Every structure is written in C-alpha cells, then in structure tokens.
C-alpha cells in the first residue's frame, strides 16, 4: 500500500507561522482541526474527505491587481485537478500492492493557503502563470484519460509485480505525476516575491515532459 506522508508541518520549516504556534504552546495537531472524514455514502459507499486548509503565515497580503485574474485562473485549475482527478488517481494507486519502494514519496491530499505575495509583476510572470495553468489543465485531461485503464489493471490484480511491462510503465508514469505535483504543492510559489521559484519552474517542466 502507498505510504501517505503528511508533509504539511515540514512546509513551515521556512518560518512564518509555525514559530508562533510553538511559542503559544498550541498542539501541532490543532493545525489539522479542519480535517474531517465524511461518512460513506450509502449509495456508492465512496469515502470523501474535505481538503485541509492551513494558514502557515501570520501576516496578511493582497495579490497585486495586475495578477489577480491570471492567479485566480491558476488557482482554479490547481484546485480542479487536486480535488477531482488527482484525488481519484491517488485513491486508485493506494489499492496497488508491492510498490512501496516506488511510491513512498507520494503524500496525502493536503491543501494549504498559498502566498501569491508578489511585490512586482511583468509580462513574463503573467505568461508563466498562463503556461502553468495550461499544464495543470492538460495534466487533468491526461489523468482522466488514463483512469479507466488504471481501473481495469487494478480490477485484474492489485499486485504490481505481476503487471506487464506496459502496465507497470503506465502506473510508474501516474506515480511520477503524483510526486511531481506534490513537490510543486509543497513549495512556495515565490522566494523573492518578484519571480516564480526555480523549483516550481523545474516541477512544471518535468510535469509537461511526463504528459507530453
């Protein structure tokens, strides 16, 4: 089974809000107080879990007016992917056995309040957001096209070691998508408040190569 690792606390290692939580002697578990599991639906017996929303920061910020529209589109694409296709993909992959050593990097669905606190903007920055929004949409479409095939693979057998090379390749590709998106989600979009962080850029470059 896939080992889910909640990486939320590690995200705060860079500072901002975690120190205050510790100094105020607030239990770390309270960060996740909004986490809830819904009861199984009687009709389809499918578990649904609410996304976790965590604000790791103390100070307030506003998105630059010039960036609001494109960032909103980016956030919507990211949310649509994460709460739908990616959630279904992770749920399916979690049913596959004997791939722990391959999938230990996958973490649970974990959503936090991202800081789009850019202090300046440029045409290049806007184009980057547009490009990454398109990649997110293309990734969702790619996953949606593969989910039925993945279902058939898992229905036949949940043992990864018994899969054909073609099926293993598909599963490995889908796992790579998950781990790449997780790394993107767990990195601040900007470090210098003027440009998109290099790790984010590399992540989207890798993601684009995977689905192309």
Residue 3 lies in a domain: no
Q: Which domain holds residue 32?
A: 8-211
What are the backbone dihedrals phi and psi of residue 49, each rounded to the nearest 5 degrees, phi first? Answer: -125, 140
Residue 2 lies in a domain: no
Q: What is the pLDDT along the chain (212 residues), one digit of tens a residue?
A: 443 333 443 433 444 444 444 444 333 333 333 333 333 444 444 444 443 434 444 445 688 999 999 999 999 999 999 999 999 999 999 999 998 644 444 444 444 557 898 999 899 999 999 999 999 999 999 999 999 999 999 999 999 999 999 999 999 999 999 999 999 998 899 999 999 999 999 999 999 999 99
The pLDDT value given to residue 211: 95
The pLDDT value given to residue 62: 81
C-alpha distances in Å from residue 138, one per residue of 73, 81, 133, 141: 14, 10, 9, 5
d(C-alpha 199, C-alpha 14), whole Å? 15
The pLDDT value given to residue 34: 37
Residue 115 lies in a domain: yes
The pLDDT value given to residue 36: 35
Whether residue 153 contacts residue 173, with contact meaning beta carbons closer than 8 Å, is answered with: no
Structural domains in the chain (count):
1
Residue 85 lies in a domain: yes
The pLDDT value given to residue 60: 54
Residue 59 lies in a domain: yes
Provide the whole-model pTM: 0.69
Within a 10 A sphere around the Cβ of 211, how many other Cβ atoms?
Answer: 18
Helix (H) / strand (E) element for 142: namely helix 123-156
C-alpha distances in Å from residue 52, one per residue of 23, 79, 169: 23, 12, 31
Contacts of 83 (CB under 8 A, 6+ apart): 51, 109
Residue 1 lies in a domain: no
Residue 191 lies in a domain: yes
The pLDDT value given to residue 93: 95
Residue 63 lies in a domain: yes
């Amino acid at each position: 089974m896939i080992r889910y690792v909640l990486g939320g606390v590690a995200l705060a290692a860079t500072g901002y809000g975690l120190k205050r939580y510790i100094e105020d002697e607030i239990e770390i578990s309270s960060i996740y107080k909004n986490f809830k599991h819904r009861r199984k639906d009687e009709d389809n017996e499918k578990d649904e879990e609410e996304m976790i929303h965590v604000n790791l920061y103390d100070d307030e910020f506003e998105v630059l007016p010039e960036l609001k529209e494109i960032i909103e589109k980016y956030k919507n694409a990211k949310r649509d992917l994460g709460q739908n296709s990616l959630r279904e993909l992770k749920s399916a992959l979690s049913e596959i056995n004997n791939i722990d050593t391959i999938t230990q990097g996958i973490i649970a669905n974990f959503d936090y309040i991202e800081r789009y606190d850019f202090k300046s903007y440029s045409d290049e920055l806007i184009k980057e957001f547009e490009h990454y929004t398109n990649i997110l949409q293309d990734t969702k479409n790619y996953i949606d096209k593969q989910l039925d095939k993945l279902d058939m693979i898992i229905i036949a057998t949940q043992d990864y070691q018994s899969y054909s090379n073609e099926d293993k390749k598909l599963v490995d590709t889908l796992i790579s998508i998950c781990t790449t998106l997780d790394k993107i989600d767990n990195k601040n979009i900007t470090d210098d408040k003027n440009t998109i962080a290099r790790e984010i850029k590399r992540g989207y470059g890798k993601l684009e190569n995977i689905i192309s």
